Amino acid sequence: NRTIDDVYGDSATGDLPIYGPSLWNIGPPCAGCQLVPDTDKLFMGTWHDNTHLPTVFNNMNITLVGTAIWVYCAVVQGGDARDAINNTNIEFDLDGNPSTFYDNNPAVSDGAPTFGYNVTVFSMTALMNTQHTLVMTMQPKSWMAFDWAQYT
């Protein structure tokens, strides 16, 4: 198995994820972030996050050669995120094939936001052993914290 870290990229090729079209926050540090995951619980201690803007559908792309892929994010599980958007709603497009979606809409409760780590937001197996491109697009009113991906 090989990994793709949000900051350090592909463990085999060195290829980095491509983030766009607007700037993404890189943590740590993330001074302007309202939602800050625990770096001790993140793969290699880093994450990239963004909040969907009304007119811009932010996305990220990763490219790999393999037969299976799993994508992991940090997601809010509960608590009071103050005025931050705490939903994680992502559209996935692999090689231009019909999209799949991940939706996480936690209930707001008292206390600081709690996070889930290494949450599988996308997986696909039985792929042809060729180059694949995965595009992850944030949906309206959504926060995404990409941590890492694994592929075989």
What DSSP character marks residue 67? S
Mean pLDDT along residues 39-57: 90
Contacts of residue 96, Cβ cutoff 8 Å, sequence gap at least 6: none
Render pLDDT for 78-94 as a digit per residue (tens, 0 to 9): 887 666 788 999 999 99
Residue-level pLDDT at 73: 98
Q: Read off the tokens for 20.
A: 């766009």
At 98-124, the pLDDT tens digits run: 789 999 999 888 888 899 999 999 999
Mean pLDDT score, 43-66: 91
- pLDDT confidence of residue 37: 95
> Omega into 113 within 30° of 0, i.e. cis?
no
Which pLDDT score, from 0 to 100, does residue 83 have? 67
Please say if the pLDDT value at position 35 is more than 70: yes
Flag whether pLDDT at 67 surpasses 80.
yes
Confidence at residue 52, expressed as pLDDT on a 0 to 100 scale = 85
Question: What pLDDT digit, counting tens, does each position of 51-61 carry?
Answer: 887 777 899 99
In angstroms, what CA-CA distances link 54 with 48, 51, 57, 62, 139?
19, 10, 8, 24, 10
**What is the pLDDT of the chain when averaged over all its residues?**
93
**Domains of the chain by start residue, with CATH:** 2-151 (2.60.120.260)
pLDDT class of 152 with cuts at 50, 70, 90: very high
**At 59, which helix (H) or strand (E)?**
strand 59-66
